[in-house]
Structure formats: structure tokens, C-alpha cells
Structure 1
Amino acid sequence: MLLPIIITFLLAFVMLLFKPQKMARFFKFISVIPLLLFLYLLSYLPAVHYGVKSVFFKNDWIPSLGISLDFKIDGLSMLFSLMITGIGTLIYLYAAEYLKKDENIHRFYCYLTLFMGAMLGVVLSDNLITLFVFWELTSISSYFLIGYNTNEEDSRKSALWALSLTGLGGFLMLASFSLIGMVSGTYSINELLTQPGILVNNEYYYIIISLLFAGAFTKSAQFPFHFWLPGAMKAPTPVSAYLHSATMVKAGIYLLARFSPILSGDEVWNYNLMIVGGITMLIGALLSIFHKDMKGLLAYTTISALGIIVFLLGIGTETAYYAACTFILVHALYKATLFLVTGIVDHETHTRDLSVLRGLGKVMPPVAIAAFIAALSSAGIPLTFGFLSKELFYGVTTGTIWTRESVFILTGIMLLTNVFLTSAGFLAGIRPFFGKLPQEFKKIHKPNVFLWLPPVVLSFLTLFFGVLPAIVDQTVINAATSAVFGKSTDMYLVLWHGFNMVLLLSIITIVLGTVLYFTIKPSNKNEGRLKGLDDFSPQTIITNIAVGIRLFAFKYTRFFHNGYLRIYILIIILFFTGIVGYKLFADVPLRVNTEGLSEFRIYEFIVFVITMIAIYIITNTTSRLTSIAALGVVGYSICLIFVFYGAPDLAMTQFAIDTLTVVLFVLVLFKLPPFLKFSNGKIQFRDGIISVSFGVLISLITLQALVSPADKSVSKFYADNAYVMAKGKNVVNVILVDYRGFDTMIETIVLSIAAIGVYSILKYKTQDGEKSE
């Protein structure tokens, strides 16, 4: 399984070599990539359903850290993989015609193929860290797809919103995965499935599920993070049809479904999913009917549909899981159809405004038929796949084992949501194609076959699975439900359950949805009613928080990063003095023993006096050359101290460094202007206090070290092995060159870069008309 995914990524970059002007006709054949992947995955369907239930592919990556490129095909991953590749094949075919005049179509296919490979990695990974890597790849590739129209500011802004929210969610999800690995001792999802109680009964359980919810909710546009999805509709229609109906937005759904058998043993898990999913599905459905833009309307119905799936996963019964798995496929089929239809309408009429679109069925009958079937499936009309799904919804809410009041509440929320979705589906799939054709649309002709064929195929599958549900039920949905439920299930779809409460609720949904469809007229007035809520919307609140964070960051940066090196050094010394001083006095009793110190000899005293005089000159002189010379005196005084205490090798090293430093300082600094008077008496007094405090702290640490037990095992190792292993008699040099050779090399590189920077500043000349500072 690793090889097909790697090949997919490689082919994505190969597409950048295509020349759109010369190879436009060949882009239709790129759809063979997802088609071959679809057939390859389909070959494992008998093994998954009838055989071993799951197929493993083992690939070591970083075994010492428990990270592997292991993949697993079971019922759940099979369901998502077939959607990703099957619908992807039709999207590839559609996009070749839809974007045939786009000069960057080769980039589009590169991004789309990268995204497809990443999504396959997400749903097939059996390792948490590998799953996270692919998860982030979906965020990055979707960023490029959403912001594909780079010349439009709205597209760029929408892409940034999507990347920011999903990226933040991904970061929190990684924290959850890290905790899971710490608690369970494994990153393997399959191993976690064999020991679910280890997480549910752990003290970190609530932190784990909170962080996991953050990743899933941001990716699947759950309230209050739902607003990025309508903004993402700025992307080309093939992107909306693929990412925002069948794949990317369902990655969070996949995550919740995959971890349901592992983490769903506590009511907090169930109640959170039910509450968030219930709010999302109701708000998304309600807001959808106020939009007159076809894409905007479909975006909010997508949010609502995702909320329904989360809501069902929260209920957590076998029937609820079965309904969720069924609806995942149902929604992908009819929503992808409606998005593709919307793209055709926009492509031919150059508008998506439902208040002006009428009678298009007369000029594009195949498109109208596909849209009509998708709208019926969305409404849950009998003999469509959507009807079976809606029957399951009501079967779940009316069949719960909770109190009568909770049954009424859950069923009522589901009923209202489905009524709004029914009306919205009719608005997008029926309204543009019926009625009198406006004069300006009479010249429109039937679109190219590669545009109308994909939605027709999807709508046909909607009817086919609605009439013969056993074909998909017994092969895919049942196996997916078993994977989510954690045990085998033998549920199945049937066309007729008889006259019961579920059927009555379905009829009420269709009737009320139809009445609402004829009542609500898409208009600027209806859309304007939502503007009054902008000040209280999650997007506005999160935007205000982001602005506040940016302002804080600006002030923080201006305070700590003001461009003055002396302030940076001051802050570092203050921080070091405070932290180390607190640690020194708080944790360990200070012990100073001066009895073992040698007497202060006269030549040491002379060196000390010379050092103090040099330091005084450095801090008070106004000559840069004088300060450099005095600084050299301090360095040479330290060399003498090394000699006094039997360290001639250190003295020679210090001597060489100080000599080189003085020479370099003279060469670099003598051309600079004279000292500027930056400080006054108060600042000098402050700096003096900080300097003395730092010096006293270092002295105390030194005295403490003299009476503390020393572990000489490291120094003994270097002394014993310096010559034997590195053939050097100078231990210090051996450590710098051999044992810490990479550190020394990197330090040398840093110094070289700094030297180049200093040289560039010195050689810089202002341009004409530019102020010299």
C-alpha cells in the first residue's frame, strides 16, 4: 500500500512538467490515476468483507520511536478510500473540461493529486504519527486548492482561514496522539483497538478527547469552527465538489469514527458529540435556506450534514453507527452531484444566483435530471438512496433507550434539520431547471459530455443504490459499521419497513420541506437578514481574538525586540540571574567554605587591580579604540590567571582568541562614528546593579561547586580516550574538534554568517534620495 501512495505523490509532481497549451487534450487521461487506485482498493473488498476483516501492510519507519508506515484496510477505511478514489475519478474527468482554458491547470492537478494521496494516507494509516503527517498534508494541499485563484483576495483570505483553523486543530490533535502514545505505550491504532479501557480509565482521558475533538471539529467544520467552509467556496467548483462534500471535510468524521470504539466508553464523549453535532446540523440547515448563491447554500447544507454524522456518532448505538456510515456515502453522492451541477450552471450562465436562474432544464436536460435526482435524495424521497438514510435517522432518534423527553428533543431537532435540508436541496437541484427560461439564457447550449457525465453517473448511483441497497450495504456499509462499532453487526438496508412512526416522520419532513421551498424565495432581502448576526458570529469573535493577539504580539515584540543589543543582553542576564538565583537559594542550602582557598598572592592582586582598572576604562571611555585595547587587557589578565593555576593550554587558547578578537574589533570598528551618549546616571546605576548581581551569583556558584561532590566520570572518559580514540594529546582540542566536531563546525558557520552580515552593513551605501541613518 505504501508504493501506490508514493507513486501518487510522485505523479503529482510530474504533472508540473506538463505544458497546458500543448497538452490540454491529455488532461482527461489523468483520471486514470484515481481509477486505477479505485480498482486496486476494490480488489481487497472480498477479503475485508468475507475474509479476514482487515488487511495489514507493515513498513518500518522509525522503530525506535514506535513510528511506522503501517497501513490497514478494514471496512471503515475501505468506505472512505473508495469514495476518495471513485468520486475522485469523476472529479478529475470533470476538471479537465471545466478548467481546460486555465493556464495553470497542471498546477491544479498537482495539488489535487497531492490531496488525494494525503487523504488516502489519512484513512489507511494504522500509526498515529503517520496519520498526523498525512493529516497535515491534506491541510497544506487544500490550502493551495482553496486559494487556487491567487489573483482574488477573497480566495487567498479563505485559504488562510482554512489553513489556520485546520492547522491549529492538527496541532492539538498531535498533542492528543502524543498523550495516547504515552499512556498506552503504542502508536498503533490496531493495538489500541485491542485495549480500549486503558485510555478510558486513565486520568488523562478528558484531556485526550478534548484535544482530539479540536482536531476533528476544525477539520469537519463543526460549530463554532464551521465558518471556514462557506469561505472555501471561493475555490473552483471541482475543488468544492471533491474536498467539501466527499473527502477533506469528512476527515474529521473519519477520525471520530475510527476512535469511537477506543474512546467512547464515557458519557462525556457521547454528550459532547451529540451537543456539538446537534447545534451544527440545525444551524447549518437553517442558514442554508437564506442564501441565494448556489455554492453558499450547498456549503451550509454540507455543514449541516457533517453535524448529522457527528450527532449520530454521539448517540453511539449500533443503529446510529449504521446510519452514520450509510449517510457518509449517501451525502457524498448527492452533494458531489449538486456541486458539479452548480459548476456547470456557473460555467454556462456565469451566475449562481438562484433569484434569476430558471428553466435551464430546457437547454441542459442531462444536467437537470442529475440535479433533480440529487435533490430527491437530499429530501429523502422513496426509491432514492437518501430515503433509506433518512429512515435510519428517525429510527435512531425514536429508538433511543433514554427518557421520553430526550426522545422528543432528539427527534424534533432531526425533523427540523431535515425539513430545512429538504427545502435547500429543492432550491439547488430543482429551482434553476424549472419554470420559464429567461431571454438571456436562451443561447445556452448543452455542455460538453465531460461536464455532464460525472453528475449523471453520481445521480445514477444514487438511484441504483436506492433501489438495490444490498449491493453496497452488504459489501461496504456493513463492514464499515462493524469497524466503528468494534464488533460484527448484521444490520441491513430494506426498502420498506411498513407503516410506522419512522415513515410518518419521513412524510412530514417531505411535506414541510416542500411547503418551505415554495414559501422561501431566494432574494437579497432574505440574505440580508443574516448580516445583522455578523457581529455575534463565531467568525467575528475569532477575528477579534486574532486581532487582539496580533496587537499583543506587536507590543510584546516592540518591547523585547527593540533593536538594541545592550537591551537584549540586559534581559538575558536578568532572566538568568533571576532563574538561577532562585534555584540556587530555594532548592539547595547555600554552602560556602573558604578554608580550602589559597592565600591571595601579591602578583594575583596586581593582576586583579589591572583588570579592575581596565574594566573602569571600558565603561567610561569615549574612544572606541581605547575600549578595545582595555578589553584586550582584561583578556590577557585572564590568561595570566590560567597560568597561575596550572592551565597553560587554556592560557594559550585564551591568548590566541583575545589577540584575534582585538585585531578583528580594530579592523571592523575603527571606521564607525564616535560613541553616542545613550545612557544617563540612572541607567548606569541600573546596569551597575545588574552587573554586580550577576558577578556575585557566578561567584557563589563557583564557591558552591568547590564544596559539592564532583562526578569526574566524564572528564576521566575524555582523559583516558582522547589519545587512544582521537590521537590527540590536548584533551580540550580533542573535545572541540572530534567529540563536539559538529557543534564546532556549526559555531564556525554561525560566526561566518555574522561576519558576512557585518561586512555587508559596513559596505552598504545609501541610494540616491534615501536617508542615511
Structure 2
Amino acid sequence: MPETTSDLTWIAMLLPFVAALLAPWLTARLGAAAAWVLALAPALAFVHFLGFLPEIATGERVTGGYAWVPSLNLSFSWLLDGLSLTFALLITGIGALIVLYAGGYMKGHPQQGRFFSYILLFMGAMLGVVVSDSFLMLFVFWELTSITSFLLIGFDHAREASRRAALQALVVTGGGGLVLLAGLIFVWNITGISQLSLLLSTGDILRESPFYMAALLLVLGGAFTKSAQFPFHFWLPNAMEAPTPVSAYLHSATMVKAGVYLLMRLNPVMGGTPAWEILLPFFGGITLLVGAVLAVRQTDLKLMLAYTTVASLGLLVMLTGFDTPYAVEAAVLYLVAHSLFKGGLFMVAGIIDHETGTRDIRLLGGLRKLMPITFAAAILGGISMAGLPPLFGFLAKEEIYAALAGANPRAILFTAVAVIGNALMFVIAFAVGLKPFVGAETKTPKHAHEGPILLWLGPLVLALLSFGGAVLSSLSHRYVTSPMASAIDGEPQMVTISLIPHVGVPLALSVLTIVLGVVLYLGLERLRATVDRVVIGLGISPDRGFDHFVAGLVALSVRVTRVIHNGRLEVYITTTFILVALVLLVTPVVYGELPAVPVWPADLGLAEAAFLAIAVIGVAAVLSARDRLTAIVCLGIQGFALAVLFLLFGAPDLSFTQFMVETLSVVILALVMTRLRLSLTDHRPLIARLLDGAAAIACGIGFALLLIRATSAPFDATLTEFFAAYSKAIAHGANVVNVIIVDFRGVDTLGEISVVMITGLAILALIRVRVAPATPTASVVSPPSGSFGDVKGKKKGKVK
């Protein structure tokens, strides 16, 4: 496939982020009018991507980017083909309309600037997902969509329902992102490739790998959680707690389709296997039915649309995994149609709520004369969602039935699933797009009237695009759907369906869907009551299951914490030393890496032997000391003896450092001990002393073995030669050790200084501790018996 390069795409990718930074400042000065300025960012990005249509239509791919870590094959790179370009146009085009819509919907909100910033960040994250070429870049933007959607769903953070919905979405989609990361790592290790543009040309390498199933399940885990496939569908309807502009954007062109995008992107290298063709249609079909059935149970306009989005995502996943000639074309057509009609209908629901004060369908009616422009946008969106001509949804529905219809049991089963699901979505399409506007005018909480242009512009434009795309289907297929289908299928495809119906099974199934939909629409109230009774009777709710899962996880965490973190410092210290000893001793024994017994040096001088003896005497003094202060002072003997040995062996700088460390250690420990009210002697029982002594001896032996093993290895002078050669030339320092510490290891040295500073602050806090006199009624908690730090007296510390 021919490729061209683009060096300006990164600017288009950054435009939403730049606008997000400016949004609060612009909104504070321009108010709702800032929407017109902020919408320029996605609009300009839309124009940029629109310019690629001619060359993408000829089968070319556009790539670009920059090497980040070449040694690890990591890059900041992008890929534009029929699939990613279509998504980029939907994200930026609908995004510009959403920003304008938010300007009218959120007008007067004290946090409108913050909202603009969040929605633009979300837009940039989603744009990054669909144009990313490198795995790392894809994952970073993938998780960024989870974080920004958390901010948007929980925008009204004062409400508990909003906070819960935001946390739920973050847990489900963020967890799925981690699963996806594992899947991408599997793919990377199997193929050795970390870029999608190169991966798509690897053929059957993934499918033939023994780790294919593991990689597939991990990728499906990420895709299913993001695109709300059963049983992870529950987070999406709950996300309706977000303001309506978020819902319209989330459901039309962005986050919920990220999983579908990923499955379509990987179809050429992971599709076509029995696992792919079983799992995707199975879970997609269940999601389609669950979403459609639960949609008719709702009375809130947004929830009705939200559950049909779940159903539509299930239909897209089912088609992506269905291995028939027209399945990919049907998925492409339905994805574009759904983006147009669902974005418009959500905005219509928001207009109704904004201008009437309610979204309850039972309280709405007769709005056609009061809101004529909104009605026009609503009915056109409803017609497209119902799959009726002359809207783009009709093309999608006909192609769906052409892809699914067949004589074998599998085809019959999934065709029946599609007919039932589409019939129920037909009901919701007219329940939302028609029912609030016809019949007798009802009394609503607010006096209904047509909204401002910022509100109705978006849904009207999307409805007209759906109409124009269907009427001019040849142009739509040439520039959008055919290149997209070719990218998904991995080979050239030509979509040809038009508004002229083809007499045959697909048309018959369409008629059956319409008839069934009309019958169910006329009996909507009875249907809603029936579904409600069935759902209540079954008592199955993945949403409640999520709550039980989280509650169980919290309870398990509390129990584990009580076992591991019992609040006793001596237990923590003892456990740490035992584990260190095990690591130092068990590992060399298991792997046969024990060092040879060192030979006593024959040329050991009198001075060296004398200071070794002083160190041994210091150890004996510590063990025989009768009080803590004496033990601390004796503890410094070994350190000073070691410092002198460093000096004797020609390391004065190291010797000086050792002298400073030992002096400070003795002074600080002595100072701290004098500030604590401790008993003068050690009252630990014998078993505690034996355990602590054994741990100390084991750690000492372990470190000794490690040092002997390390020093017995052949000396590698590579770094020595490097530092000697470049210390003067690069860092202009004659003292090699100083240059290493300050320049070559500058960051490490900064970290060490930070540790010392933090330690000093902690010591200062301990010094400032004052002991308050006990009151007669004060409760006293005795320290654990046998502790080396037994507290003398019954007094409580108080920090001043």
C-alpha cells in the first residue's frame, strides 16, 4: 500500500489541547460567546484532516512522527488511512458542533470554562487514540480518554450519583486499559513490532503464534470495557450523569467507539480465526439484545438513548467478527450513521430538557409548534436511527441484513438477533424523535420554546449530513466508507449500496423490522411495563454486581492491611531484615553462586591489622554495653575503624565521607535517645533476642558473601577508562570522583541530597516532640511487651 508523509498532523493533534489551556481564560472574558472561538480548534483540525480525503480515497496511507527512544523502537508517530481518517473527521467535526452546543447549554454556569477545558482535553485524547501509530502512543491516549471522561462524567461533583458514575467509569475503562497494555506487549513480543502501520503488513504471524489466544483475550478485554460490551455495559448508562454535551459527544464519535475502532484496526492481523468469529458475534449479539431491551424500559430520554448506544456498539462488534462478504461494509456504514443520528438525538434530548425542564417522556407532548427547528432535527435523526429512507441509517440497515442473512443456523440466529434489536431501536428512535413533539401539548416545568442557535445548530447539521450522505451515496462511498472498509478488511473494498432498494431478503427483513417496530411502538407503555416486570423478577444487575465487587475488594484490602500492617514497628523492621537475609543467602545457594573462601592476605600491615582488631573490639563493646547510650557510642568504633582503613588504602575522599557519616549517626542517635523516655536497659525476652540476633547475623553474612563475590569477579575497567578520559574534557574537572558525583551522577546525587534533607526534617520533628503530663482520666495504651523501645512511665507524646 503506497504511503506518504505528513509533518503537520501533530499540530492538528495539539490544537484541542491548546484550546483547553485557553478555555477558562476565554470564557471568563467572553462568556458563552467563547464557544465560537474555542470551536475553531477542532474546526481547523477537521479542515486539516479533510484535505487527506483525495489521497486516502486512492488507497494511500499517510504516516509521520518522530523517534523517541530508537533503541527501544518507541516513537511518537501517527497513521492515517480510511479507518483513522474517518474517525478523525467524526471526532473533530462533531467535536466542533459539541463545543458550540455546550456554549448554549452551559450558558451562565459558573464552571463553564472548566467544562470547555475538559471536553477539549477529551477531544484531543480521543483524536490521539485513532491516529496513533505506535503502541505506546496509543496506550497513553487510551488511558487519557479514561481520565478525561472521569472528569467530565463527574463534572457535577457535588452530587453523589455523578461521583459514583465517574469512579465506576474510571475503574472499568482504566482497568481495561491495563489489560490492553498487557495485550499490546504480547503482540509486541510475538511480532517484534511496536507500530500499527508495520503490524498490518505482518500477515499471519499473530494468528499462527501459540500465544495468539492470550493476546486476543487481553485485547478484547480492553476493547470490551471501553465499548461497554456485556457484561461491562453498565458503566455507560450511568455515565448519563454527565451534562448532555458530554453524553452527545461520548456516544456519537468518541470514547465508546474506541474499543470498536481497536477491533476494526486489528481485524487484518487478528481476525478471521474461529476464536475471533465466535467471541465477537456472541458478546456483540448479547450486548445488542440487552441494550435494546433495557432501552424500552426507560422513561428518561437520555437513558433511552444511552441503552440504544449499548445495543449499537454490540451490533458493531457483532458485525466486525462476522465473516461474510458484506459484514465489514455494514459495520462501516452503521458506524458513520450511528455517529450522525446519535449525536443529533442526544443534543435534541438536551434541548428538550433545557427548554422544558424535564426529560421524562411521559410528561412531554405537543412540542412540534413550540420547537419547530428542534422537531425537524429530531425527526430526521429518528428516521435515520429507525433505518428508513432517505437517511444514511437506511443504507446501513440494508447492508446489515445483506451481511447476516443466510440459510445456515448461525446466520439465522444472528439475523434474528439483528431484527429484534433493530425493531426495538426503531421504537426508541420514534419515542425520542417523534413522541415528545406530537399529540396534545403538555404542561412542563418550564414554558417550552425554541432554543438559541447554539443549541439547535449541531443536531440540524448532523441530520442534514445524514440526508446528504444518503442522497449522494456515491460520493460518500468513494471518499469515506470504501476507504474505511478497505482499511478494516486489509484489502480493497468497494461499497455500492444506495437509496434504491434491492428486492430480496435484505429488503424483506427491513420490512419485517419496520412492521415489528410499529407494532411495538404503538404498545410502548405495555412493552415497558412487561420488560420492567421481567427485569425486576430476574433480579440480575451487573451494576449492583459492580458495587458488591468493590465492597468485597475493600473488605479484603482491610483484612490484608490488618495482617501486614499491624502497627508494630519492631515487626516491620524484623520482617524487612529477614527478607533481606533470605534474598542474600538463598539466591546464591540455589544458583550456585557462593564465593570461594577468601585467603588471608600475606602482606597485611600492622596498621591495617590493628584497625581490624579495633573494629572487632567495637562489636564486642556494643554487645556487652549495659545501656543504650554506651551501645550507640561503641557502635561508632567500627565506622571510624573502617574510615581509617579507607584512608590507608588510598581513598581519602571516601574516608572523609565515612567519618562524617559515623559522626552524624552517633550524634543524631544519641540526641534522639535522650529525647525519648526509654528504659535504660533492654527488657526483651530471650526468644526475641535470639530472633533479632539471628536476623542480624544472617544479614551480615549475606552482605559479606555478596561483597566477596563481587570483588572476586574480574575487574571491568570500562567505566574507569571512560571517566578518566572524559572527566577533564567534558566536565572540566581534574578530580574524577567529584566529577562523577556532581556531573555524571548529578541526578543520583540530587536524590541523595533530597533523602538527607527529608531525613533531617524527620529528625527535627522528633526533636520537637514534647511529653505532656498525664491527666487522671487519660487512657493509657501500653506498648507491646518485649519491645526494645519500652516506654518508661505512662505518658503520651504531644507534638507542638
Q: Does TM, normalized by the shorter one, top 0.5? A: yes
Question: CA-to-partner distance for each residue in 1:121-161, whole Å, 9 max, x for gaps?
Answer: 22222222222222222222222211111221211221122
Equivalent residue for 2:135, pick from 122, 128, 132: 128
Question: CA-to-partner distance for each residue in 1:214-266, whole Å, 9 max, x for gaps?
Answer: 22111111111111111110111111011122221111111111111122142
CA contact (8 A) 2:632 2:670 kept: yes
Specify the code of the residue in structure 2 equivalent to 1:191.
Answer: L
Q: Aligned with 1:358: secondary structure?
A: coil
Residue 71 (1) aligns with residue 85 (2)? no
Partner of 1:388: 395
Specify the code of the residue in structure 1 equivalent to 2:10.
Answer: L
Specify the code of the residue in structure 2 equivalent to 1:692.
Answer: I
- In 2, Cα distance between equivalents of 1:528 and 1:498: 38
Normalised TM-score (structure 1): 0.91
Specify the code of the residue in structure 1 equivalent to 2:233.
Answer: H
Question: CA-to-partner distance for each residue in 1:495-549, whole Å, 9 max, x for gaps?
Answer: 2344322212111111112211222318996685477479643333333333333
378-387 or 328-337, larger mean C-alpha shift: 378-387
Question: CA-to-partner distance for each residue in 1:410-439, whole Å, 9 max, x for gaps?
Answer: 111111211221122222222222222223
- In 1, Cα distance between equivalents of 2:134 and 2:593: 48
TM superposition shift of 1:724: 6.7
Partner of 2:195: 188
- In 1, Cα distance between equivalents of 2:289 and 2:85: 30
Partner of 1:575: 579
Superposition pairs for residues 687-706 of structure 1, below 5 Å?
687-701=692-706
Residue 334 (1) aligns with residue 341 (2)? yes
CA contact (8 A) 1:20 1:104 kept: no
Partner of 1:27: 35
State how many pairs are aligned: 765
TM superposition shift of 1:637: 4.5
Specify the code of the residue in structure 1 equivalent to 2:43.
Answer: L
TM superposition shift of 1:343: 0.5
467-476 or 53-62, larger mean C-alpha shift: 53-62
CA contact (8 A) 1:281 1:304 kept: yes
Partner of 2:467: 463
Q: Aligned with 1:355: secondary structure?
A: helix
CA contact (8 A) 1:196 1:263 kept: no
- In 1, Cα distance between equivalents of 2:62 and 2:346: 34
TM superposition shift of 1:733: 6.3
Question: CA-to-partner distance for each residue in 1:12-63, whole Å, 9 max, x for gaps?
Answer: 20112124475333433432332232222222211211x4522233434333
Q: Aligned with 1:57: secondary structure?
A: strand
1:606–1:108 Cα change, 3 Å: closer
Superposition pairs for residues 207-606 of structure 1, below 5 Å?
207-399=214-406, 404-440=408-444, 443-521=447-525, 529=533, 532=536, 536-588=540-592, 590=594, 592-593=596-597, 596=600
CA contact (8 A) 1:388 1:495 kept: yes
Question: CA-to-partner distance for each residue in 1:595-631, whole Å, 9 max, x for gaps?
Answer: 656699995785365234322246x62x4x3332122
1:712–1:176 Cα change, 3 Å: same
1:522–1:635 Cα change, 3 Å: farther
Identity fraction in percent: 37
- In 2, Cα distance between equivalents of 1:702 and 1:498: 83
Partner of 2:761: 756
Q: Aligned with 1:194: secondary structure?
A: coil
Q: Aligned with 1:270: secondary structure?
A: helix
Equivalent residue for 1:142, pick from 130, 149, 159: 149
- In 2, Cα distance between equivalents of 1:285 and 1:767: 68
- In 1, Cα distance between equivalents of 2:447 and 2:713: 94
- In 2, Cα distance between equivalents of 1:478 and 1:678: 83
- In 2, Cα distance between equivalents of 1:679 and 1:207: 54
CA contact (8 A) 2:728 2:734 kept: no
Could you tell me which runs of 5 or more consecutive residues in structure 2 were left unpaired when the two chains were aligned: 1-8, 779-795
CA contact (8 A) 1:291 1:527 kept: no
Partner of 1:45: 53
Partner of 1:742: 747
Could you tell me which runs of 5 or more consecutive residues in structure 1 were left unpaired when the two chains were aligned: none
326-335 or 114-123, larger mean C-alpha shift: 114-123
- In 1, Cα distance between equivalents of 2:653 and 2:92: 69
Equivalent residue for 1:62, pick from 56, 59, 69: 69
Q: Aligned with 2:60: secondary structure?
A: coil
Specify the code of the residue in structure 1 equivalent to 2:756.
Answer: L
Partner of 2:181: 174
Question: CA-to-partner distance for each residue in 1:40-94, whole Å, 9 max, x for gaps?
Answer: 2222211211x45222334343333323333232211221122112222222222
1:536–1:614 Cα change, 3 Å: farther
CA contact (8 A) 1:87 1:242 kept: yes
Specify the code of the residue in structure 1 equivalent to 2:432.
Answer: A
Partner of 1:109: 116
Q: Aligned with 1:96: secondary structure?
A: helix
Equivalent residue for 1:658, pick from 655, 662, 673: 662
- In 1, Cα distance between equivalents of 2:444 and 2:18: 46
CA contact (8 A) 1:21 1:103 kept: no
Q: Aligned with 1:360: secondary structure?
A: coil
Specify the code of the residue in structure 1 equivalent to 2:754.
Answer: I
TM superposition shift of 1:751: 0.9
Question: CA-to-partner distance for each residue in 1:352-381, whole Å, 9 max, x for gaps?
Answer: 112222222232122223222222222222
709-718 or 192-201, larger mean C-alpha shift: 709-718
Normalised TM-score (structure 2): 0.88
- In 1, Cα distance between equivalents of 2:344 and 2:686: 77
Partner of 1:119: 126
TM superposition shift of 1:185: 2.9
Specify the code of the residue in structure 1 equivalent to 2:303.
Answer: G
TM superposition shift of 1:735: 5.2
- In 2, Cα distance between equivalents of 1:84 and 1:346: 25
- In 2, Cα distance between equivalents of 1:734 and 1:486: 56
1:100–1:731 Cα change, 3 Å: closer
Q: Aligned with 2:109: secondary structure?
A: coil
1:678–1:137 Cα change, 3 Å: farther
Q: Aligned with 1:223: secondary structure?
A: coil
Question: CA-to-partner distance for each residue in 1:295-349, whole Å, 9 max, x for gaps?
Answer: 1111110011011011000013341000000001111111112111111111122
Specify the code of the residue in structure 2 equivalent to 1:552.
Answer: L
Q: Aligned with 1:69: secondary structure?
A: strand
1:523–1:356 Cα change, 3 Å: farther
CA contact (8 A) 1:718 1:731 kept: no
Equivalent residue for 2:635, pick from 623, 631, 638: 631
CA contact (8 A) 2:622 2:632 kept: no
Question: CA-to-partner distance for each residue in 1:83-129, whole Å, 9 max, x for gaps?
Answer: 11222222222211111111111111111222222222222222222
15-24 or 217-226, larger mean C-alpha shift: 15-24
TM superposition shift of 1:705: 6.2
- In 2, Cα distance between equivalents of 1:313 and 1:505: 20
TM superposition shift of 1:691: 2.2
CA contact (8 A) 1:722 1:728 kept: no
CA contact (8 A) 1:292 1:527 kept: no
1:345–1:497 Cα change, 3 Å: closer
- In 1, Cα distance between equivalents of 2:657 and 2:88: 64
CA contact (8 A) 1:312 1:320 kept: yes
CA contact (8 A) 2:299 2:360 kept: yes
- In 1, Cα distance between equivalents of 2:501 and 2:527: 40
TM superposition shift of 1:729: 8.8
- In 2, Cα distance between equivalents of 1:87 and 1:497: 29
- In 1, Cα distance between equivalents of 2:727 and 2:331: 70
TM superposition shift of 1:588: 0.5
30-39 or 759-768, larger mean C-alpha shift: 759-768
